[in-house]
Structure formats: structure tokens, C-alpha cells
Structure 1
């Protein structure tokens, strides 16, 4: 009886031990490539520009709303970090033939995949902890005491990692399908810019609504937030986006005022206004709609989870079906 229990208890510890081994392997892989360190330095530089720009532009001095308006990495930083940690995680194994000794071990492809994914998300989580701490300390030093900095900011690195995991999934899918790190990187960045261009041009050049953008990876629609989450009256230019990439900032705003609203104005270019250079703005507002920030946050969270699950299931399927050859 005791022997049977031992046999029955073996698989779970074995699987977790295998996942830990793959996790460690993936971390060492990234450190050996030094790509994560290089991209982390670039992220620090870009974050420093966001932090220092108002002061360098002559708008320094006390600003209690700086952090709540700027806390969290921009979409471009997120996409760069996602591509960096994921571009060669699967495809690089095939390119460098390291998949041969890895696949020869008594470890399933599923465990290899999820061990790698866990390592990637852990690296991103650590980077975001450092970036958020850097912004918090720098913002406090440069712009004085800040408003809206509640205890929920400790959850921002996790929310940002969740948001970035969508782009990690895109990169893994392309890499698993093509077995090329270069195509995985270029394809993901190309998709990021393509969606940005579509989101900026299609709604104002056609009669199409921008609402479908909220269900695609990226920033979603642009709107203006109104609520009691900054010191003094809410400025009219407190712009936010409603897509997956904006989860961290919208979460911070929601934590300060759960009743906050987002106003979205659908605009179109007017040829008459463009021709009349001394006239009004070349764009005119067609319609306006208002959504609760809670609704925006819930939708983007569900969309992010749906993409993460679907993209990784597709990537895992492709990885499991990949043939390993020595040629």
C-alpha cells in the first residue's frame, strides 16, 4: 500500500521539478544573450525622458498630479520588452539547434513551453517593479508630493505584466510558426505599428466606429477621463486610452475613483475645414459616448486574458507539432 502511494505521489513533484529546471534554463538563456539587460537599459532611458521632459522643457516645480498622469510604461516600452524576452525563446532553440538536447530529455513539450513562459513573465515582472519604483522616487524628488498614490500601486507591476503578456503571446506565436527570431520580432513590431496606424486613421477617414479597436491588441480608442482622482479639478486634457495596453494606468485611475467616466468623441476629417485654413479645426465631432471607467477596465482585462490564453494555446500546439531534426 505504501509503495502504491509513493508511485502515485511521484508525478506532481516531478512535473514541478521539471518546470523549475526549464524556468532556470530560460533565465540563464536570457542572461547569456544579454539582450534583456540591453533592453532594460533602453527602457530606463526612455522612462527617464518621460520623467525629466517636463523639467527640461521648463515646466518643472511642484506638480502633485505628475505620477497619476504618467505612471506606468508606455506602449512602445511594453512592446520592446515583450519582443526582447520572447523573440528567441522558441524559435531560437530551433535556430541554434539547442532544441535537440532539450527535446531529448524526458520532459514534455508542454512543460518546456510553460516553464519558458513563466520565466519570461517573471523577468517582465521584475523589470516593471524597478521601472515603477524609479518613476515613483523620481517623480517625488522632481515634482514634490504626489496625489493619488494609494496602496494599490503595488499591483501595477503585475497588471503591466498581464498587459504585456498579450504581446509576448503574439511574439511566441509568430516565432513558433516561422522558427525565426527575426521574423518574430519584426512581425510583432510591425503588427504593433499597423494597429496604431489603423486606429489613428480609419475612424477619422471613414464612417467606421473606433470601438472594434478595443478588442484588438494595442491602445484601443482615445478618450478623456473625468473623476475625482487628482488634486484640484480634473483637467480637460487628461487623455486616456481604452485598450489592453492601457490596463495599468486605467487601473490606477479606477482605484482612485471607481465612479470615474470616460468620454469618447468620434471625429471625422472635414474637407471644407481643411480647405479653409483660417476656419475651425479640420476634424469635426460626429458623436460622443460615455462609458464607466469600470466598464473600460473590465473589458480590457477580459480581452487581455482571452488573447493570452488563445495565443499561447496556438503557440503550444505549433511547438508540440514541430519536428526536431539535426539537419
Structure 2
């Protein structure tokens, strides 16, 4: 079996070819590598499907493209992103100069630390359908607990795995790190973790089971207490609540019956010149929750459209009163 790219950036198996790839210089029957500098193949064109963290000793400015799989429009990329002396498995904006990471693979659900690998690590979707991260020692981490029939990097910024009937069985939208993209939601029981060095989270914002959206000034994985909360959104008792961000930057809460609970922002109208804008919300390293926008048609940087707390918890609704201040950590 070999794998080829389908249109719109997905991958599917094709039986009867028996192709083999190499990982770290050794042949692995039935596995193929995702090609670097991918192009759309013809129906019978052989295309590899593994990603490798091999890189030149000094990465060129756009060297990350050698280790990534882009969405159909090239807006997002999935793959190995340089992090210090190693690499993280991540999704980032690829079409703007400021290549912002919007998702990264974590080591485990308890600590929520980014998984950093060294050169020669490889991501493989093997012939049995297992999506595997293999490090340079040959140790393997199964990214998802069930085999998949195909994978796709979507223009929404969502990386998905499908079963044989094309149903989504795993997606990065269900396991956010510190960012929610437009069209994504933070569901009941899920949370965001901020970062200082982009490795360790210092603030944790949770969509609680009681319907309240609460940020805590305690590292994820610790036994944070009610007293660690530095804000609360007064939505307790509303049932199963989800935080949503739409394509116009409107940030709102809905319950399990899709009834609106609260609007945080009303969204922004696009300019008449046809410029496209993209929105995201991030729990930043200073503990503030911000809505950002960026033009997809222009150079520039992210603009802050909204934030909460507005001035580091110096507001009446702050859980701990006006004297409470967020802990000071070095900026990213």
C-alpha cells in the first residue's frame, strides 16, 4: 500500500503498489514520507506522506516549509516548527510574515508541555492507519488512539483524521493549546493554557462543567484552587456552555440548545476594499484573553481588537478585588 495526496490537501491509501520509504536511513515497508515542497499530484502520481524534522544546520528564512504540509490555499501549515534547539509538531499561519503558531502537540494531558523533538524525528501515517511521531532514537508516540483512513490540513487551521467513511475521528480543533481560531469553539470541559517560553503554561482558562468560563493563575496540571481564579464570567448554572468565535470576530457563549448566553464582542465588518481578515483568540503569557485580527491580503502584524480583563484585573468584577494583580512573568 502507498499513500497519495487527494485534492484539497488530504491523504488517502492506494492499494496494490507496495511502496516503501526510509526513516533515518532505513527502509520501512508500507510507509511513505510526506514530500517536502508538496505539489498537487496527478491521479497516478506517486507522492510520499511523512514529514521529517531533518534540516540544514542553519535553517533558511523559509526553511520551515521543507518540513510542513500546507492547507489547500497555503494559509496554514502543519509539521515541524523550529523551537529553540529542536522542533515542535505544530500548526502555524504560513501566508503572513509573522508565522504565528496556533496549535502544538503536547507531551501529556496532565502537564500540557509542548513536545520538543530533535532533528531526524518523523511523522508517519503508516499502512495500518496509525499516525505516529517517531524520534531519532526510533521511539514512537501514537498521536491518536485509533487507526485512520485519511488525513487533511484544512484552510480553517484544523488538522483532521478521517475513518473509512470520511467521518472525522480526531481533530486539532478539539484539543486547543492557547488559541481558538475563527470557526472553532471551546467546549464544555476544555481549556486553554498560556505560555511564557511557549513551553510552560502559567495561566489556565477552563470552560467549566458548571457553565462558567474561568481563568486561573496556576500552572496546568497542578491542583489549582478557587482562590487561584482571577476572573469569572458570571455564567455559572447555564448548563453545557461553549465559547465560539465566528468569521467576523464575534465572540460569544451558547448553551447546549444553541441559545445565546452572552456576547463578548459584536464582531467587525470587513472593509469595502475586499480585504480578508482572520480572527483568533489567545490566552496570552500575561494572563489576558485577547481577540486578534490580521489581514490575509497584506503584510503587517496582528492587531488587538479586544481583551479581558482590560487592565490586568483592575475591575469591579475581578474575583479578588482591585488589589489583586496577575503574577509578573517575563514576556514571550
TM-score, normalization by structure 2: 0.26
- Structure label with greater radius of gyration: 1
Between 1 and 2, higher relative CO (CA 8 Å, sep ≥ 6) is seen in: 1
Q: Which structure has the highest strand share of the two?
A: 2
Q: Which structure has the highest helix share of the two?
A: 1
TM-score, normalization by structure 1: 0.26
